[in-house]
Amino acid sequence: MNVRLLFFAVLRERAGGEEETIDLPSGSTVGDAYRARFPGLGLPVGYARNGRICAPTTVLAEGDEVALLPPLGGG
C-alpha cells in the first residue's frame, strides 16, 4: 500500500525534502513506516495519521498521510 510521509525538523534534513510516498506491506503501522524510511535511526518521534496524533502501533490504510514529528529543541 502507498502511504505519504511528511517530514519535519531534523527528519526533513535527513530525508532531503518535506514529503515522499513509500510502499508498505498491508497491515503496517505508523511505527513501521518510520522504521522503513529511517532504518536504525532510533530518534524518538511522535506520529500523526491523517492529521490526528496517534500511537506508533496505529495500523495504516492505503493512501494515509503520516506526519513524523521529532522532538523540537532550541531556545
Mean pLDDT of the chain: 95
Average pLDDT, stretch 1-26? 96
The domain limits of the chain are: 2-69
CATH superfamily of 2-69: Beta-grasp domain (3.10.20.30)
Eight-class DSSP state of 29: B
Instruction: Specify the pLDDT at position 31.
Output: 97
Residue 25 pLDDT level (bands cut at 50, 70, 90): very high
Cβ proximity of 50 and 62 under 8 Å: no
Average pLDDT, stretch 12-32? 97
Instruction: Specify the pLDDT at position 72.
Output: 75
